[in-house]
DNA sequence: GCGGAGGTGTCGATTAGTTGCCTCCTTTGC
DNA sequence: GCAAAGGAGGCAACTAATCGACACCTCCGC
């Protein structure tokens, strides 16, 4: 997730959102599987025609990896609908400590919890991969809500969903130890990105220790130490940019649900 | 905040909500003053007639101090509108650790983040004082939303507001130390319940150390220690059921905003 | 091939925060 | 009036997690 220069990949011409069939995901720290498996897609309830209309109203923007989409403290105006790529939403405290709320994929929108603006962003958003987003201003949103009933419902569903995400994160951070949170995250990663590999599950995602640390709300070093400890216990094996989980059940025990 | 038996106070006959003029508050751990000063009241946008209609549709319920209003894990159906009293919304992890989201007063509703049900409660709600609530089921909510436009907007505002609360809490828990969080809370308490007293501010609220601990996400003992430390520094003086703050500025420094 | 940047592993010191236990003070019930 | 119960507060031992620093490794651009 470094911000190193990348060969700018060509931006796809046709919007995948028009098809309305992408397996949208949200990657975040939670114990509620329902939250991460099926975030409600904003476009799900719309006809092809309505989808086109929404996209026409918005302003398409290409965001390269490492570039900021919006920043905490800056004025808020509307939302960003993700067409492709992955957006990391995070917050940095005055002290420099950082917490990642979630990684959002195509079909979701970011830039909440407010919809119409009139405030400031409380989170920041950065492109975790080269991404394409559609910016819908507060003004445009009002118009679309009035015009397309399904769009309004989709937005409310989206807001409700985000509410659940925030609240799940707060619960995790408030009541679970870092170790438990890490176990949670690993189970979730295994679920989402895991590939079965002769009895074990390989997580091939390119998350650095720092990325994981931000997701569980801990320091990079502590994640390194914890992973090493888990490795010594035979629960998993950490190779570079790849984690192989041998004993998923042990993680569940650690998490506190078995 | 103990659940000791209380002499049941008479329940007021007329609903204060009909007047639509109570100074509603939400007590929670956040750095955003706007969040706590003015939570949007559900009834603010309604005419007296509409208010009556909503109250007629709901089922009134008296909840005595210490009694549960809803519990995490139980099926969710609709929301509870607070007519009088104070409801504490909290979560208990399997390990027994507990975190308080907020204390909500008259004019607010609890039982989110979902509106219509079809899920389970993720938080629990308990009466912190003898309270009167109006239960609006998911079905009733749908009807009211369709009938009264202002009610729908009020609900969306409420949801958005709750989203901000959750997200503020997550940010606090993820990036601030317990000490900083306690400073936050004390400032906020001084703001809300504080009474000026010859240069100092007296917080007379009957919050126990355990209550404070649950609000900042720490143990009762650590709050005791921290308060004692602050007392040694001359920042405040903790008497029983009363905290006198001498040096509010020191708390601000501790919080990291000066 | 060299230098830089970013990621990882590790160590030691320190602190933040927890756990368990104990005492004191109120309240309640008889 | 007194015993029992339970909450509130305090002390001490312990551990979880942070902080800062540094060495190493690998990938990448030049």
Instruction: Decide if B94 and A173 are in contact by the 8 Å CB cutoff.
Output: no
Q: Which residue of B has its CA nearest to A34?
A: B119
As a whole number of angstroms, the distance between CA B171 and CA A245 comes to 30
> Does at least one atom of strand C sit less than 7 Å from the CB of A241?
yes
Q: Is the peptide bond before B113 cis (omega within 30 degrees of 0)?
A: yes
The angle at the Cα of B230, spanning B229 to B231, to the nearest 5 degrees, equals 90
Strand C bases contacted by the protein (CB, 7 Å): 5-12, 16-21, 27-29
Whether residue B71 contacts residue B123, with contact meaning beta carbons closer than 8 Å, is answered with no
Q: Mean pLDDT in chain A?
A: 82
Within chain B, how many helices (H) and strands (E) appear? 9, 15
Residues 6+ apart with CB under 8 A from A221: none
The C-alpha of B240 sits at a distance from chain A's nearest C-alpha, in angstroms, of 27
Whether residue A130 contacts residue A55, with contact meaning beta carbons closer than 8 Å, is answered with no
Q: Calculate the angstrom distance between C1' of C22 and CA of A101.
A: 42
Alpha-carbon torsion, ordered B55, B60, B64, B67, to 10 deg: -110
> Does at least one atom of strand C sit less than 7 Å from the CB of A97?
no
Return the structure tokens found at A219.
């320091």
> Residue A43 — pLDDT band, cuts 50, 70, 90?
confident
Whether residue B163 contacts residue A161, with contact meaning beta carbons closer than 8 Å, is answered with no
Instruction: Report pLDDT for A12.
Output: 46
> Residue A22 — pLDDT band, cuts 50, 70, 90?
very low
> Residue A134 — pLDDT band, cuts 50, 70, 90?
very high
> Residue B80 — pLDDT band, cuts 50, 70, 90?
very high
- Could you report the per-residue pLDDT of A137-168, keeping only the tens digit for each? 988 888 888 888 788 888 878 888 888 888 88
Partners of residue B217 in chain A, C-beta under 8 Å: 173-175
Q: Calculate the angstrom distance between C1' of D6 and CA of B65.
A: 17
Token pair 């028009």 is at which residue? A18
**Element at B134 (helix H, strand E):** strand B131-136
> Does at least one atom of strand C sit less than 7 Å from the CB of A184?
no
- Residue A38 pLDDT more than 70? no
Strand D bases contacted by the protein (CB, 7 Å): 6-12, 16-21, 29
As a whole number of angstroms, the distance between CA A184 and CA A217 comes to 12
Return the structure tokens found at A41.
């897609």
Partners of residue B170 in chain A, C-beta under 8 Å: 99, 101, 166, 169-170, 173
Instruction: Report pLDDT for B32.
Output: 64
- Could you report the per-residue pLDDT of B89-124, keeping only the tens digit for each? 999 888 888 999 988 888 889 987 777 767 889 899
As a whole number of angstroms, the distance between CA A230 and CA A77 comes to 44
Instruction: Decide if A97 and B174 are in contact by the 8 Å CB cutoff.
Output: yes
DSSP assignment of A122-137 equals SSEEEESSSEEEEEE-
> Does at least one atom of strand D sit less than 7 Å from the CB of B228?
yes
Q: Taking the CA atoms of chain A, what radius of gyration do you get in angstroms?
A: 19
Instruction: Report pLDDT for A7.
Output: 41
Return the structure tokens found at A241.
């940019």
């Amino acid at each position: 997730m470094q911000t190193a220069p990348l060969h700018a990949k060509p931006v796809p011409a046709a919007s995948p959102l028009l098809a309305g069939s992408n397996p949208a995901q949200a990657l975040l720290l939670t114990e509620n599987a329902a939250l991460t498996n099926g975030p409600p897609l904003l476009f799900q309830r719309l006809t092809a025609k309505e989808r086109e209309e929404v996209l026409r109203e918005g302003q398409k923007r290409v965001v390269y990896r490492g570039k900021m989409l919006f920043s905490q403290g800056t004025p808020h105006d509307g939302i960003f609908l993700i067409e492709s790529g992955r957006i990391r939403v995070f917050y940095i405290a005055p002290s420099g400590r950082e917490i990642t709320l979630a990684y959002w994929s195509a079909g979701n929108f970011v830039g909440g919890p407010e919809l119409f603006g009139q405030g400031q962003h409380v989170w920041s958003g950065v492109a975790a991969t080269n991404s394409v987003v559609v910016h819908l201003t507060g003004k445009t949103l009002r118009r679309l809500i009035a015009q397309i009933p399904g769009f309004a419902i989709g937005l409310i569903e989206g807001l409700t969903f985000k509410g659940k995400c925030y609240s799940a994160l707060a619960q995790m951070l408030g009541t679970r130890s870092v170790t438990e949170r890490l176990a949670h995250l690993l189970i979730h990663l295994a679920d989402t990105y895991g590939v079965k590999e002769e009895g074990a599950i390989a997580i091939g995602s390119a998350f650095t220790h720092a990325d994981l640390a931000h997701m569980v709300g801990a320091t990079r070093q502590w994640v390194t130490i914890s992973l090493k400890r888990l490795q010594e216990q035979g629960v998993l094996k950490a190779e570079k940019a790849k984690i192989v989980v041998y004993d998923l059940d042990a993680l569940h025990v650690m998490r506190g649900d078995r």
